[in-house]
Amino acid sequence: MSAVAENTDALALIQLSGLVQGTFARVAERHDLTAVQGRLLCVLAQQPRGMAELARLFGVGKANLTGLVDRAEQRGLVERSVVPGDRRAVQVVLTEDGRRSARAFHSEVTGEIAGLLEPLSPAARAGFREAAVTIADAAAHPGAWGPARPC
């Protein structure tokens, strides 16, 4: 592949990333969340997670993660609980308000992001999905979102 094509491909991915991140941030704001809080709700909607695992998924230190969890806990979205069978370990779980917020956020953000694909034909959408999976697999980074479900 030529350097020009590689540069164009990289710029296309950067532009797409900006569109998705901008949509994510706008929807989060409408739900009175930061984008990071929205992501936290989505990750926890899959299953409770330990603090160390969350720090790794978010690529932050434990101190930064503690602040994020503290703020979400103060808002009544999450709570810390003891891991069954290990009294020393703590996991973060969604509260009922957190589950409602995660569902509402997920519904709106996925709807808006799906709208970005409306100009594509069904065949182009299928090709897009295949390309996205191939890229994520090749990078060995399926993401903190889990398999095909961000929330």
CB atoms within 10 A of CB 73: 15
For the segment 15-58, what is each residue's pLDDT rounded down to a tens digit?
999 999 999 999 999 999 999 999 999 999 999 999 989 999 99
As a residue count, the chain comes to 151
Using DSSP's 3-state secondary structure scheme, residue 45 falls into helix
Q: What is the pLDDT of residues 68-89, one digit of tens each?
A: 999 999 999 999 998 888 888 8
- Residues 6 or more apart whose CB falls under 8 angstroms from that of 48 comprise 81, 91, 92, 93, 94
pTM (two decimals): 0.80
Read off the pLDDT band of 147 (50, 70, 90): very low
Domains in the chain: ranges and CATH: 3-138 (1.10.10.10)
Q: How confident is the model at residue 146 (pLDDT cuts 50, 70, 90)?
A: very low
**Which pLDDT value is given to residue 148?**
42
